[in-house]
Structure 1
């Protein structure tokens, strides 16, 4: 490249860079004297674009109107001093601390742990273990005894076999347990690691967890069962009086499926799982251990071929029939990464991340641990510490500096005070040098993390943006609660007047007291229609058309609205037996015993909806007043550029 081209490239690059940086500080509009920058508006617009279902709100002008109203509310909240309330400040600080954890981890260590977990999730391990239980903070003498004991047990189990040793189990200090199959995240990290690294048929070397010393024997390893997608028909058994009816009905439905009727059509007609019935009973995919019903899970995983249907079975939720729609092996790393990362941060693996973070902070802020300082504090401790009456000696050099973070120096007196406070807690009687080391680590780590958290807003732009959004969102919630929600709920006279003026909006929908019969056979439904016209009861009709081995017709007896799943959208409500119709791939007939007309709700019956509507009206009126109270100035040139950028 010629020098002239390099010079031209440099000029263009920095010109573009300066334009972008200048745009970040362009004021799109101001509320009184408070500027709102174009960069903030564009970032929020883009972030929320996919969440907005109303197409009108995707229009930049309409979204700007909403954003201005949002900023007017924030201005009002600050004017009222809501950002100074102790409750607000406490909640904000709590969120700030919670949010910061997502930005303060060591990403390289986290990524390595996530990848390792994914590889382990591909397999399930069947294992058993022997544990010598010991307190996490036990003194070295007890640790040594426990370590000797687990080594002896390992020698013995290898020589004599597990069956000869399992009698040591007492459920208190010694354990010998069969664990069954498990995968990543089901055990503490150290235990999981030993299990995955031990060959089938082998006993691991002794290792320690927070429970004590273990050895683990791996019996088998198998591939993860992956995920299944199933559809189900469910009849609830919440009412004990109707449990027998539900069991009989699920058996009838199963017979109809075996007779060749559509599983999906029967799910639409009868399944009481409202979240899936309209979709033919289809559920979201799930993996081992994901459901709260092991019975349902095992039935689903026992199905081997696509389209296979289980026999009726009972879970704690009711009676089910399950159809296998799809089976998949474990998902790709890309699709599972976010989920695994969240688990890693909750799991005992987090201690690995914490250790890495601590060491990184020591390096980042140039802090070193001086063993002479620790030796000094070990020398001034005595047995009064464990009696909780220890005090730092008066000879302590309180001005001597332990370490410095930014503009703050932490002195001998600070750590001495920390030790005095720590003796209030019950703790194992460790040797003084060990105790000082543990507490100094906690003291130093807490100060490092606090310093990093306090400066994170200035070091990380993404964190600053999220924090600012929450800050404003919390203010907005308090403001709406004070000005609109509580005010509307407590204005009893205003609510009743609003109800009286809008009574036509509050009513119970028309209902039908019905018998709905359905069958795959048109001829059978014709017979049912005739019998219903003759006022035959359901038991008589079932006896005539159904047999013990074959169910030709099923019934729903209930009070339903016109949008009930078993009725077609064009169903005409009139008393008597309807014409035959085909719906959800079945033939049906309806006997309407009576029509319960649309009824006006009383104030008490409509109160919840009245409050919501009244709040909406008050908010609209309030926003009109805010727009008159606070001057809003829009920079049209900047708005024009923003529209160009967003479009």
Structure 2
């Protein structure tokens, strides 16, 4: 499902309950006689107050103008009947079902599983296992054979040694004896994780079953997780059209030599790192934990640095060449920092079955549904072997009108469950008994109907849920309107965007730039020598060989077309042709040979196309909103607005 609410601050976060001094049901304004209440305005204003970056939008009147435009757009969307589109209704229903899960599940069960998960990810277990592989739907006889076989292997492992037995019995088809290495929470199926974490070091677990078959596990070691690292790096990217004379590896090794010569890591990162997001911060990256980055090579180097301040040798990843410096290290983040992330994982994991079971039990108690299955015998009696062939039909004398179960104000009959049996017979396990099949399907039918009934009535029972759904409903509608009215048309209307560009071309310019070679060094005396050599138009490679010798790098060169914001140039750099003066920059010195000064220049349509389309969309939307104001009459209740102003000021 696409979350389409990013474009407006009116549609984020959860609703707040307000003790409004103004009458909550008082009308604040109308749009063509459709009322907008004080309560809605106050709720949206207050919940978004901390998110608003533009201080002017915190002003009640400024915010009212935004909110009025928002309501005008919704009015237009409903006039165009966008709220009746099947795609809109499908996406809204999907969102409601997802959101409902946050309101109907038992938080106590979820919280306990989240706490357990945190304990698990705080450690890593090293283990080996033996698996007797059997299908998840194996018949009772095969299951018993596998269970007895794993029990015998455990007895042998206790007497002969686990490793001896593991290596002997492994055949890679029906029996697996594997070394698993270290793993932490969420890396194995939940039942296996439980067995591993609940078994002491050097012990062998009791036999247990997962969907793969029967296992025993030998725990070899347990250790604290590797935790979290904060590092800085200098990166030289791998670019096929690099304008620098040397290749990336040569450049990073030159920088590494400067580090070994005692130059400052952060200063070198500011001068030469091509990771633009971190260079200005001396190469500093956000803290990360094991498995969080998309580069295992980078992680391994970072986690192998032991002491704060340690610096790695140059190494290569898919992004380029790096040097890494360790800034901080800590163990697993505190529970509160990880709770939300762990909760999301728990709900995607096998643990979710425990959460589901708790929900079913809660809803059965709420709607007075007992665990008995009085209809079981009847349905067992009408199922035939055709069910395993996916050809079974309800018999002609089927008692479809008989009551099956009552949930709230909805009565389900034998016919409802009979239809469910017909629709779900495909893929039935041929090794199961008919009674088992009917019992499992009856449970599934009732559980599904309980959840669906609760979801369908949640807006009536929970005000907070109702507010969030309503905001998403409006936001989704507004997105569809903007997409069809502004965004898509602005992208496709090439003539109009071209006309807009022609009328506003002075907005789209390249700034003044230089085509230059910039030499950087911490040694001002060496730079004076470089300046003289550059003035003589000496070949760059010759200059480098003269100033960087005996395995030492004193000067690093950068060349290309640069504007005033380029990291190699100081803020007060003079844009004039020839050899520049020596500037102090980023704890070093630079001198530049400016081959040409490129004046400020208009961008072509193609060069500025993205920005032109964005500006044209803004221009078109402003005109469109003015048309909506003319189309729909807005009347503000001044008395209610005065009360709102007073309340917000207080």
Decide: shared fold, TM above 0.5: yes
- Counterpart for residue 225 of structure 1: 226
Tell me if structure 2 keeps the 8 A contact 1:581–1:588: yes
Alpha-carbon distance, 1:271 to partner: 0.9
Q: What is the alpha-carbon distance in structure 2 between the residues aligned to residue 361 and residue 529 of structure 1? A: 81
1:3 alignment partner in structure 2: none
TM-score (norm 1): 0.93
Is the contact between residue 229 and residue 327 of structure 1 (CA under 8 Å) also seen in structure 2?
yes
Once residues 103 and 133 of structure 2 are traced to their aligned partners in structure 1, the CA distance between those partners, rounded to angstroms, is 36
Query: Who is 1:431 aligned against?
Result: 433
Which consecutive residues of structure 1, in runs of 5 or more, have no partner in the other structure?
1-16
Deviation at 1:196, TM superposition (A): 1.1
- Distance apart, 1:239 and its partner CA: 3.0
In structure 1, the partner of 2:357 is 355
Q: Over residues 425-450 of structure 1, what are the superposed CA-to-partner deviations in whole Å (9 max), with x where a residue is unaligned?
A: 46453111121122222211211111
The yes-or-no answer on 1:78 pairing with 2:115 is no
Residues of 1 paired with 2:500 and 2:119: CA distance? 62
2:253 counterpart of 1:258: no
| TM-score, length basis structure 2 | 0.93
Q: How many residues align?
A: 631
Deviation at residue 401 of structure 1 after TM alignment? 1.2
Corresponding residue number in structure 2 for 1:447: 449
DSSP 3-state at the match of 1:605: coil
1:94 aligns to what?
94
Structure with the bigger percentage of helix: 1
Instruction: Check conservation: 2:517, 2:559, Cα contact below 8 A.
Output: yes
| C-alpha contact 1:128 1:216 (8 A) present in aligned 2 | yes
Which residue of the other structure, out of 302, 305, 317, is the alignment partner of 2:304? 302
- Give the secondary structure class of the aligned counterpart of 1:172: coil
List, as ranges, runs of 4+ consecutive aligned residues in structure 1 with deviation greater than 4 Å.
17-22, 240-244
SS in 2 for 1:279: coil
Give the corresponding residue for 1:7.
none
- Structure 2 SS opposite 1:103: helix
Q: Determine the structure 2 residue equivalent to 1:179.
A: 180
In structure 1, what is the equivalent of residue 372 of structure 2? Answer: 370
Q: Give 1:275 deviation, angstroms.
A: 1.4
Q: Tell me the distance in 1 between the aligned counterparts of 2:376 and 2:81.
A: 47
Partners of 1:170 and 1:240 lie apart in 2 by 52
C-alpha distance in structure 2 between counterparts of 1:65 and 1:428, whole Å: 66
Higher mean C-alpha displacement, 241-250 vs 539-548:
241-250
How far off its partner does 1:548 sit?
4.5
Quote the residue 1:236 is aligned against: 237
Give the aligned partner of residue 597 of structure 1: 599
1:284 equivalent in alignment to 2:265: no
Q: Distance between the aligned counterparts of 2:351 and 2:21, measured in 1?
A: 40
Residue 39, structure 1, aligned to residue 3, structure 2: no
Partner of 1:4: none
Partner Cα distance (1:613, 1:477) in 2: 18
Correspondences of 1:562-577 after superposition (within 5 Å): 562-577=564-579
1:154 corresponds in structure 2 to 154
How far did residue 82 of structure 1 move? 0.7
C-alpha displacement of 1:96? 1.5
2:422 is aligned to: 420
Partner Cα separation in structure 2 for residue 370 and residue 406 of structure 1: 18
Q: Secondary structure at the match of 1:335?
A: helix
Task: Provide the C-alpha distance between the structure 2 equivalents of 1:212 and 1:361, rounded to a whole number of angstroms.
Answer: 33
Secondary structure of the residue aligned to 1:386 is helix
Q: 8 Å contact 1:139–1:431 — kept in the other structure? A: no
User: 1-side partners of 2:19 and 2:236: how far apart?
Assistant: 64
Deviation at 1:453, TM superposition (A): 0.7
The within-5 A match list for 1:523-542 is: 523-542=525-544
Deviation of 1:323 after TM superposition, in Å, equals 0.5
> What stretches of structure 2 of length at least 5 have no aligned partner?
1-16
Q: In the TM superposition, what are the counterparts of 1:376-415 in structure 2 within 5 Å?
A: 376-415=378-417
Change (3 A) 1:380 1:58: same
Shift of residue 252 of structure 1? 0.9
- Structure 2: distance between partners of 1:441 and 1:558: 71
1:503-534 deviation digits (Å, cap 9, x = unpaired)? 21223334322111111111111111111111
State the partner residue of 1:464: 466
